[in-house]
Structure 1
Amino acid sequence: MNFYFPIRLILFLAIIFITAVVSGCEKRVTESEFLLNTIVDVTIISKDNTDQAMHIAFGAIRNVENLMSSYNNDSEIALINKNAGKSYVKVSPETYNLIKKSIDFSIMTDGVFDISVAPIVDLWGFNQQERHIPSEKELEKALSLVGYKKILLDDKNNSVFLQKEGMKIDLGAIAVGYAVDKAINALKEIGINKALINAGGEIYALGLPKKKKAWRIGIQHPRQKGDLLGSIDIKDNAVSTSGDYENCFEENGKRYCHILNPKTGMPVDKIMSVTVIADNTTDADALSTALMLMKPNEAIELVERLENIECIIVAGTSKKDMKILLSKGLEIITFEEAGYYRFRLRDFNEYNNI
């Protein structure tokens, strides 16, 4: 997932929803804020201190936004970009380590996950209202500014240098998940053991709702707006879904989405959506984006080499040729005629210590 949600920005920027449901001695509270360029929903179930817990959770996410958002001109990422081709920039250990982890994902995915893809995203206009299909010459110029190997790191000084002037990095495909993990860890530190955080599709489910065996997470149907493809039950796990239906446009009957291949500069075209289940939201976020840019069978093969990672891939380009692929740790337990799937981790009870 990433920071590109201009429509939501217009609709939801100033909206904060607060609901509270009292159940026995526990109180269930949900609050929403616009952070990291998306809507962040935090649900906390606790006997007390929900106000303090909300403040801490949103504070943790806001801190990540202040450090890493490319939309914040004062962020450390913005400072790195301003000094591209000029000088190293010393950053906080938090930002440095996430950039380093991003490069690890680049290596793992043979370069399809790449935080330096920002010049191509800008070229297509996915950060602006005006979007267009670039020419081959435009793509060639933008691609010369892309490549994770052009990001130089100085471990001794926590410094980052972009080799070429005009290069830009954007942590949008990993920082949202990272922010969710930071908020969940902050809640754990104050004794909260039941919570759900959803940051624009980057979700972590902590503990269990009262009298429930799992949190049931819906998965968006990639070709039926407003409908669900299905759901998956989780506890103490993360779920991230990336799809070609967010921040996209159509021209001459062809869909173009914001998830771009850093090697070709072209949008994803073989997969409609990827849902990743992992033990942390950072990994789920990064992998859901990376797998979108791989061939479906190669994506499954990668996931099955990794520990505590599973995925649901919706391959194809339309509802007619849609095909659902699962990694070996997942199964479909029910399928309704309306096209709704119930997915489950095969070792759900053992995996979640229920």
Structure 2
Amino acid sequence: MQRTRKCRKWVVIMGLTAMLMTLLSGCGGNAGNKEKTTAADPASRQYYIFDTVVNIKLYEDPKAEEHLDHIDTMLKTLDQELSRTLETSQLYKVNQEAGKQAVEVSEDTMEVLKRSLNYAQETDGLFDPTVGGLVDLWDIGHEGAHVPAPEDLQRELSLVGYKDVVMDEAKQTVFLKRPGMILDLGGIGKGYAADKIAAYLRGEGVKSALVDLGGSSIIVVGSKPNGDSWTVGLQDPDSSRGTIMGNIRLNDQVINTSGIYERYFIEDGVMYHHILDPRTGAPAQNELKSVTILTDNATDADALSTVVYVMGLEKGMEFVENYNEETQALFITKDNKIYATTGLKDTFKVTDEQYSLVE
């Protein structure tokens, strides 16, 4: 039996290539790590939260360090609320009390869960925040990941069901009806945190900033310091050399990618990636390598990149086309074809001849 694991980040900002490729290529980091800057450099800081390295750069802002300190406090608070693995967190307590009693939670936790359940309803359960047991069972991205026994898979699959999550907004409580249910907000929590950061920066009058969540999601606040749009390069999912296969320009937007190359293992010659289908409890099987969502908020981008991948090309394309005007998507198939929703067909530029944009 053969097992391999890989961690690869693949969104880079062109024009600041040297710095951001250094930041995005790693798979780890330290909370609150400050970088030394000169007057010409952006103020930057690296955080580690939700099992993800977060890098933030603020340009030409006299209160940058004050803002970065505030963001540090903000992220630590969200971690104490939304982390599934932190034993002191609100979400951990909700899961511990499954089938027993409701748990009082913060406004942020209520909002994230409310939005998660809305996505679940909109997608008929293809996005389901109660997949925590399945995530633990597969444990993809950690040492020792393997294909679970059928009886274990069926047990955890039987505990998936967003309709069994009870929210009492008046009392601000959450209750899981069945013992053993596990909420996992990892499919939306990082995006929500990024939106909180961006909202704070905009409220403070910051005109130019980058918020990078682990390399798979980037939110740009405003434009580049010189007023130009940011140019984001998408790396070839199959390349280990940082080869860019296309690029797109952003201004005050979010780009988020989910792909099968991000976290996976190989067992008996079969690849098992981390994007689970709540209907089967197993990694989603379709023709896609990745899905990239471009929109105006990170919460949508975080959730949609995953659920649209599970839908597959045809249904995913239809879903995004009908979602809203601000949301667009790129689909990369295993035969190196790129499919773009209407709003991206004229703005995404393919730069690698191995790939072709389907008109």
Taking structure 1 as the reference length, what is the TM-score of the superposition? Answer: 0.87
> What aligned pairs does 1:191-210 form with structure 2 within 5 A after superposition?
191-200=205-214, 201-210=216-225
AA aligned to 1:156 is A
Matches within 5 A, 1:225-236: 225=240, 226-236=242-252
| Structure 1 counterpart of 2:303, one-letter code | A
What per-residue deviation string (whole Å, max 9, x for no partner) do you get for residues 144-167 of structure 1?
A: 111111111112211111111111
Answer with 121-130 or 203-212: which moved more.
121-130
One of 182, 187, 195 as aligned partner of 1:168: 182
Does residue 126 (structure 1) correspond to residue 140 (structure 2)? The answer is yes
The one-letter amino acid of 2:116's match is: S
Change beyond 3 A, Cα 1:162–1:337: closer
Does residue 315 (structure 1) correspond to residue 315 (structure 2)? The answer is no
SS of equivalent to 1:329: helix
User: Using the alignment, how far apart are the partners of 1:289 and 1:76 within structure 2?
Assistant: 24
Cα separation, partners in 2 of 1:127 and 1:156, compared to 1, 3 Å:
farther
Q: Does 2:321 correspond to 1:304?
A: yes
**Shift in Å, 1:22:** 3.1
- Counterpart of 1:159 in structure 2 is 173
**Which blocks of at least 5 consecutive residues in structure 1 are unaligned?**
343-354
For residue 259 of structure 1, what is the aligned residue in structure 2? 275
Aligned match of 2:293:
276
CA RMSD of aligned residues (A): 2.5
Please point out which of 48, 58, 80 is paired with 2:94.
80
Conserved? CA contact 2:32–2:72, under 8 Å: no
Q: 1:237 aligns with which of 253, 258, 278?
A: 253
Residue aligning to 1:351: none
Query: Does the 8 A contact of 1:28 with 1:46 survive in 2?
Result: yes
The answer to whether residue 53 in structure 2 is matched with residue 35 in structure 1 is no
2:60 pairs with one of 24, 28, 46: 46
AA paired with 1:285? D
Amino acid at match of 2:29: F
Q: Is 2:228 aligned against 1:213?
A: yes
For these two proteins, the number of residue pairs brought into alignment is 332
Which letter does structure 2 place at the counterpart of 1:189?
G
Q: After the TM superposition, which parts of structure 1 deviate over 6 Å for at least 4 consecutive aligned residues?
A: 4-10
Note the alpha carbon deviations across 1:159-181, whole angstroms, 9 max, x for none: 11111111101111101011011
What is the DSSP-based 3-state SS (H/G/I as helix, E as strand, rest coil) of the residue aligned with 1:242?
strand
| Aligned residues of 1:29 and 1:50 also touching (Cα < 8 A) | yes
Instruction: Give 1:339 shift.
Output: 4.3
Does the 8 Å CA contact 1:68/1:171 hold for their aligned counterparts?
yes
The higher-RCO structure (CA 8 Å, 6+ apart) is 2
Conservation of the 8 A alpha-carbon contact between 1:5 and 1:38: no
Deviations for 1:241-300, whole angstroms, at most 9, x for unmatched residues?
A: 111112211123321111101110110221211110111101100101111111211111
Distance (whole Å) between structure 1 residues aligned to residue 244 and residue 306 of structure 2: 20
Q: 1:249 corresponds to which residue?
A: 265
Confirm or deny: 8 A CA contact 1:228 1:340 kept in the other structure: no
Residue 12 of structure 2: aligned partner: none
Identity of aligned residues (%): 31
Deviations 1:186-219 (A, max 9, x none): 1122221211101112221011112252112232
**Deviation string, structure 1 residues 201-240 (Cα, Å, up to 9, x no partner):** 2221011112252112232322223333322210111111
Aligned to 1:289: 306
State how far apart, in whole Å, the 1-side matches of 2:229 and 2:118 are.
32
Report the Cα distance in structure 1 between the residues aligned to 2:39 and 2:345, rounded to whole angstroms: 35
After superposing the two structures, state which structure 1 stretch, 213-222 or 144-153, moved more. 213-222
Q: 1:44-82 CA distances to partner (integer Å, 9 max, x unpaired)? A: 012411110111223222221121011211111101000
Residues 99 and 77 of structure 1: is their aligned pair in 2 closer, same or farther, counting only changes over 3 Å? same
Label 1:15 to 1:57 Cα distance change in 2 as closer, same or farther (>3 A): closer
**C-alpha displacement of 1:139:** 1.4
Shift in Å, 1:301: 0.7
- Cα gap change, 1:234 to 1:9, in 2 (>3 Å): closer
Contact 1:203 1:240 in 2 (8 A): yes
2:173 is the counterpart of 1:143? no
Q: CA deviation at 1:105?
A: 0.4
Letter in 2 for 1:315: T
